[in-house]
Amino acid sequence: MKQSKNKPEIKEFVKTQQVQEGYLANTIKYLDAIIFSSVPDGSSFYFITPAIEKIAGIKPEEAVEKKYVLMKMVAPEDFAAVRHFFSEAKDGKAGTLEYRIKNRRGEKLFIRHSIFPIVENGTVIRVDGIIYDITKEKQNEEQLKKTDEKLRNLIEAADDLIFVLDKNGNFISVNVNGALNLEYNPVEMRGKHFLNFIEDSNKQAIAKSFREILRVNSVVTFESFFKSKYDKTIIFEVNARAILENGKVDGLIGIGRNVTTKRFDQEKMKDLNNKLIEANRLISIERDRAKQKISILEELNRLKNEFVSNISHELRTPLASIIGFAETIDSDRSMPTELRDEFNQIILTEAKRLATLINDVLDISKIEEGKIDLVKSEFTFNEIIAPLIEEYRRKSREKGIIFTCEIPEQQIFLFADKSRIIQVLDNVLSNALKFTTQGRITLIVQSMYRECEIIVTDTGIGIPKKDIPFLFQKFYRVSRAGSEIPGTGLGLAFVKQIIDLHKGFVTINSEEEKGSTIVIKLPTARRE
Ligand code: ADP
């Protein structure tokens, strides 16, 4: 081999044997370990270095002179092992034993004792060896063991799922409590693939998270839906990262927090929230309804007030003329009989009008309270319509309106409350006359199968679309600014109630400025 030029020649280090022994003596003197040469059974020493004093607290001379000095220091619990160790040495077997001693100073030490039997001609002639004080080393080891154990206990006791997977994704280890969360014990899980414990619907997402772990080489957080041994869904929020060995992925380590209750509570909260929204919606509906009711009540109140003012007007007008004409008759005794008769006639007519009005109001309340009984009899429609046609033809003529009617020749029999039906027809015809200033009023009567249809059409002022649905409400009147036509709003309410009581049917069609049509259907009398 080629020597480097700068290196000194080897012979420079070769010293005389004397010098070398000097070095050795020095080394032995200061060496912390004991070097010895003993009889084969180790009971006494031929030679032992000064470190015996440091370790055992006895002088080397004593160790050489006396037997069993070291043996006597062995801790009772290790004694048997030590004896066995020496007996093996005697048989020529080299070895090392660690055991405890209590030295002369009363200190408890741990020592490592190595022996090399020297054999000549097949016999052990002596045993050489070396003894170290390894107390510190043992203490450290013990400390480390304790720390390790604490850590292990901590992991085992943790509520979290702490696990290690191999590079294929199989469980290498898992903590007891973590496994218990899934109703398994760690042994049942070991060696099985992580995905075996995952719900089917979540498997793809987990596989994706694993790929992510391999890619990013840092902690990845993902949610795992585990399927417990008894088929419960347990949700863990897992933090995991790859274990690298020489730059290659060798497995995966992870910790998962059980968030099942949290998720469950969140779901519950969501559910409650939805219920709350629903309750709020219902409350707002109820509030709207209440508002509507209030506005209906307000409307009723308004209608009532309007009615009171209308009825007062309706009452006052005939009353005023009754009083006026009565006073005139009373103050003028010499009034010609003809004039008096005419005035008396007016008083009578107005008084009748008053009586009818009052009856109407009373009737309607009676019907509403269900207190009215229909007085039914059989009669022909023709007999009741004839006088009405005559009356309205005359009144129309007076107003400059054409009155036409189409009445079938054949008799139509009704079984009904005659006077009420007359009132109904009178109401409808009087409305047509009241709200028509020019054109015509047409009355058409048709006899249909078990039904009599009465249609009254006029070319009057008509009714706004928005008012039509309310016409049958009591006291409802169409407000027409500027051209107030007197009325109480009772007529159509009465019509509807009477027709309903007779199991008939009534509708109104109308168009403003063009006119109105009211259709009444009444069942005819059965004449089998
Ligand atoms: P009123 O005593 O006010 O006539 P009704 O109940 O008979 O009360 O009628 C209700 C309202 O319907 C009236 O105020 C009127 O505005 C309207 N109405 C009824 N019939 C007619 C019609 N033929 N033409 C126009 N408006 C009508």
Query: CB–CB of 509/471 below 8 Å?
Result: no
Q: Is 471 in the pocket of ligand 1 (CB under 6 A)?
A: yes
Contacts of 395 (CB under 8 A, 6+ apart): 433
Strand partners, 448: 451
E strand map for 292-384:
376-380
Q: Is 432 in the pocket of ligand 1 (CB under 6 A)?
A: yes
Q: Which residue among 353, 427, 471 has the greatest number of ligand 1 atoms within 8 angstroms of its CB, and so is best to mutate? A: 471
For residue 488, which atom of ligand 1 is closest to its CA? 2
Partnered with residue 114 across adjacent β-strands are 96, 130
Mean of the per-residue pLDDT values of the chain? 89
On the CB side of 324, how many CA atoms lie within 13 Å of its CA? 9
Which pLDDT tens digit goes with each residue over 475-487?
788 888 776 677 7
Question: Cα(308) to centroid of ligand 1, in Å?
Answer: 17
Atom of ligand 1 nearest to the CA of 477: 14
pLDDT at residue 1, rounded to an integer: 44
What pTM did the predictor assign? Answer: 0.45
- Has residue 527 got a pLDDT over 80? no
Residue 528 has pLDDT above 70, yes or no: no
pLDDT tens track for 114-159? 999 999 998 999 999 999 999 999 999 999 999 989 988 888 888 8
| Span of 141-155, 164-178, 341-355, 471-485 with lowest mean pLDDT | 471-485
Query: In this predicted structure, what is the pLDDT of residue 23?
Result: 82
User: What does the angle CA 228 – CA 230 – CA 236 come to, to the nearest 5 degrees?
Assistant: 15
Beta bridge partner(s), residue 166: 251
Strands 440-448 and 402-406: parallel
Phi-psi map region of 177: left, alpha, beta (phi>0 left; psi -120 to 50 alpha): alpha
For residues 197 and 190, the answer to whether their CB atoms sit within 8 Å is no
Look at 33-42, 106-115, 308-317, 371-380 and tell me which has the smallest mean pLDDT: 308-317
385-396: pLDDT as tens digits? 999 999 999 999
Q: How many CB atoms lie within 10 A of CB 161?
A: 25
Mean pLDDT of 196-224: 93
From the CB of 488, is ligand 1 less than 6 Å away? yes
Tell whether ligand 1 has an atom less than 6 A from the beta carbon of residue 492: yes
Percent of residues, the chain, with pLDDT higher than 70: 96
How far is the first Cα of the chain from the last one, in angstroms, to the nearest whole number? Answer: 146
d(CA 486, CA 477): 10
Q: For residue 518, give the H/E element and its range.
A: strand 515-523
Q: How far apart are CA 94 and CA 58, in angstroms?
A: 26
Phi, psi of 359 (to 5 degrees): -60, -40
d(CA 214, CA 252): 9
Is residue 343 lining ligand 1, measured as CB closer than 6 Å? Answer: no
Q: Distances from the Cα of 320 to the Cαs of 31, 352, 389, in angstroms?
A: 146, 14, 30
> Which residue among 431, 484, 517 has the greatest number of ligand 1 atoms within 8 angstroms of its CB, and so is best to mutate?
431
The response to whether residue 442 sits with its C-beta less than 6 Å from ligand 1 reads no
* φ and ψ of 445, to 5 deg: -120, 130
For the segment 82-105, what is each residue's pLDDT rounded down to a tens digit? 999 999 988 899 999 999 999 999
Report d(CA 133, CA 121) in Å as an integer.
34
Structure tokens at 5: 């030029």
Distance of alpha carbon 226 from alpha carbon 234, whole angstroms: 5
For residue 2, the model assigns a pLDDT of 45
